[in-house]
Amino acid sequence: MTVTTRFAPSPTGTLHVGNIRTALHNWLLARKNGGRFLLRIDDTDAERSREEYVDAIRADLAWLGLDYDGEERQSARLAQYEAAFAALKDAGRVYPAYETAQELELKRKIALGRGLPPIYDRAALDLTDAERAAKEAEGIAPHWRFKLDHAESIVWTDGIRGEQKFDAAQLSDPVIRRADGSWLYMLPSAIDDIEMGVTDVLRGEDHVSNTAVQIQMFTALRGAMGSDAPMPRFAHEALLVGSEGKLSKRLGSLGCAAFRERGIEPQAIVALLARLGTSQPVEPIADRQTLIDTFDLSTFGRAPARFDDGELERINTALIHQMPFAQVAERLPAGIDEAGWHAIRPNLTTMADVAEWWNLVTGPITAPDFSEEDRAYLVQAAAALDFSGDDPWQALTGTLKEATGRKGKALFLPLRQALTGMDHGPDMKELLPLIGETEARRRLEQSGAAGSKSAS
């Protein structure tokens, strides 16, 4: 079958770095296998879902370059959920329960106090028809639970965690529908995965127990709906933690908007998150196909994956230093040609730095005060400036070295300071031709003028 993965965010907020990693890994898994990657908007929570978040999710995926092969909205599939729910009801796999949240919490505390697992005691199954009718006559609407088969062990081979086994009797029958008729996550998700042909479910390890429950849901749904859809393969990856080694609230708020504000390139995020938590080296890989070809669930570890801002910034800088002019031309200030980009690129940490470094060419620049000896040297440099050859910087420094005996810092630093106003920066061999002969001579002469606090 065609490998089909899905990313299923709830539009109750914007994507954070953990969501992005999940989306990316599902995209990589589908693309590596020539399969399909679906976006499913899990918007059954009408009270909290917002259309602006749906738009933001789409925009973030587009910015990251994670194209999808189809989009579904759970809010448009309510009829399918009703039909599947009715089939499960007829099969005796769902049942009404009437406990309040306070009553359930009390039961949980009593169980814990007795040293027992805090699982639901299935008291609702013992109610008679008359007792249920009496509760509903009192205006108590039921919530609905899925009835797990306690006789069946739940076993699967996880793509990352290996053999997994759960005793269904040690799990609570999950609530699948609220008293107001709205759906919780697990049943609609299982229905969708069957009907959309999802073959691989890759998500965080916090969903492991959900998977155990959903495997029984899949089995029950296939029987109740007469479906022959195969059980999806499941894989659960370790969660992200901060660089300090602890789960970080900050990771829950770190999203594409924050990355863009910091000048992080989307490919830097992709390069980092593609291999974070695996045995493969995290490298500044610009070629998306390389990340696809090397994606392998067998390389994923069980230890928490550490997200390090410093590592992201290093990757970002390295990727910018690889970018050809054609890739960035439309993002550059007016006047920067390929030679200009090549000159300033090695000094960039983010693309936001371009204008600052290009200002060394266009001006104005402010040079420092120079000693009397250096001012005389700069006047001499202005006179020696010669753009007739291919390398005016080498010609200038060669002439000055021979004429003055200067070398090293004494030879180069006053020239750089007078021409750029800085002690460091782009290679002067590349920068000087961009400044141009007339402007370069003017800057040298102005810096060499007696008592100058040179600004140009």
Distance CA 241, CA 307 (A): 6
Q: Are strands 143-146 and 175-177 parallel, antiparallel or unpaired?
A: antiparallel
Residue 372: per-residue pLDDT: 95
Residue 345 one-letter amino acid = R
178 inside domain: no
Paired with 72 in beta bridges are: 40
Q: Which CATH number characterizes residue 384's domain?
A: 1.10.10
Q: Are strands 94-97 and 143-146 parallel, antiparallel or unpaired?
A: antiparallel
Q: Looking at the predicted structure, is the pLDDT value of residue 452 above 60?
A: no
Distance CA 83, CA 89 (A): 10
Give per-residue pLDDT as tens, 346-364. 999 999 999 999 999 999 9
* Residues 288 and 372 both lie in one domain: no
* Residues 348 and 447 both lie in one domain: yes
Which tokens in the block code for residue 265?
């390139």
Alpha helix stretches (DSSP H) within 65-180: 78-90, 101-113, 129-137
* Residues 262 and 242 both lie in one domain: yes
Of 297, 322, 347, the one marking the end of a domain is: 322
Q: Give residue for tokens 């040293």.
A: 115
* Residues 409 and 301 both lie in one domain: no
Cβ atoms of 49 and 10 closer than 8 Å? yes
Mean pLDDT of 122-140: 95
Residue 225's pLDDT band, with cuts at 50, 70 and 90, is confident
Of 296, 322, 348, the one marking the end of a domain is: 322
15 inside domain: yes
Helix (H, G, I), strand (E, B) or coil at 455: strand
* Residues 298 and 418 both lie in one domain: no
DSSP conformation letters of 167-206: EGGGSPPPEEE-TTS-B-SHHHHHHHHHHTT--EEEEEGG
Of 272, 290, 322, the one marking the end of a domain is: 322
249 is in an annotated binding site: yes
* Residues 354 and 255 both lie in one domain: no
Instruction: Please count the other Cβ atoms lying within 10 Å of the Cβ belonging to residue 390.
Output: 8
Q: Which CATH number characterizes residue 286's domain?
A: 3.40.50.620
146 inside domain: no
265 inside domain: yes
Mean pLDDT of 413-441: 97
Give the Å distances, CA to CA, from 417 to 100, 291, 326: 75, 43, 31
Mean pLDDT of 373-379: 96
414 inside domain: yes
Residue 228's pLDDT band, with cuts at 50, 70 and 90, is confident
Distance CA 356, CA 344 (A): 10
54: left (phi over 0), alpha (psi -120 to 50) or beta: alpha
* Residues 260 and 374 both lie in one domain: no
Residue 226: per-residue pLDDT: 83
Number of domains present in the structure of the chain: 2
> Which of 105, 184, 175, 119 has its CA nearest to residue 142?
175
Q: Looking at the predicted structure, is the pLDDT value of residue 381 above 90?
A: yes
Residues above pLDDT 90, as percent of the chain: 91
Residues above pLDDT 70, as percent of the chain: 97
Burial (0-12, 13-18, 19+ Cβ within 10 Å), 320: buried
* Residues 443 and 335 both lie in one domain: yes
> What mean pLDDT is reported for the chain?
94
Cβ atoms of 216 and 149 closer than 8 Å? yes
* Residues 281 and 331 both lie in one domain: no
* Residues 288 and 265 both lie in one domain: yes
Q: Are strands 4-7 and 175-177 parallel, antiparallel or unpaired?
A: unpaired
Give per-residue pLDDT as tens, 167-198. 999 999 999 999 999 999 999 999 999 999 99
Give per-residue pLDDT as tens, 24-51. 999 999 999 999 999 999 999 888 999 9
Give per-residue pLDDT as tens, 439-451. 999 999 999 996 5
> Which of 76, 98, 91 has its CA nearest to residue 145?
98
Paired with 90 in beta bridges are: none
Residue 124's pLDDT band, with cuts at 50, 70 and 90, is very high
Paired with 158 in beta bridges are: 162
Better pLDDT: 349 or 249: 349
**Dihedral in degrees, nearest 10, Cα atoms 418, 421, 423, 428:** -60
83 inside domain: no
Residue 450: per-residue pLDDT: 62
Residue 453's pLDDT band, with cuts at 50, 70 and 90, is low
93 inside domain: no
Q: Looking at the predicted structure, is the pLDDT value of residue 251 above 80?
A: no
Q: Give residue for tokens 């928490």.
A: 304
Domain of residue 31, residue span: 1-71+238-322
Give Rg (Cα) of the chain.
32
Distance CA 358, CA 17 (A): 33
52 inside domain: yes
Residue 1: per-residue pLDDT: 83
Distance CA 371, CA 451 (A): 9
- Between CA 296 and CA 305, with CA 299 as vertex, the angle to 5 degrees is 115
Residue 113's pLDDT band, with cuts at 50, 70 and 90, is very high
Mean pLDDT of 140-144: 96
* Residues 295 and 387 both lie in one domain: no
Better pLDDT: 343 or 226: 343
Q: Looking at the predicted structure, is the pLDDT value of residue 249 above 70?
A: no
* Residues 342 and 445 both lie in one domain: yes
Residue 252's pLDDT band, with cuts at 50, 70 and 90, is confident
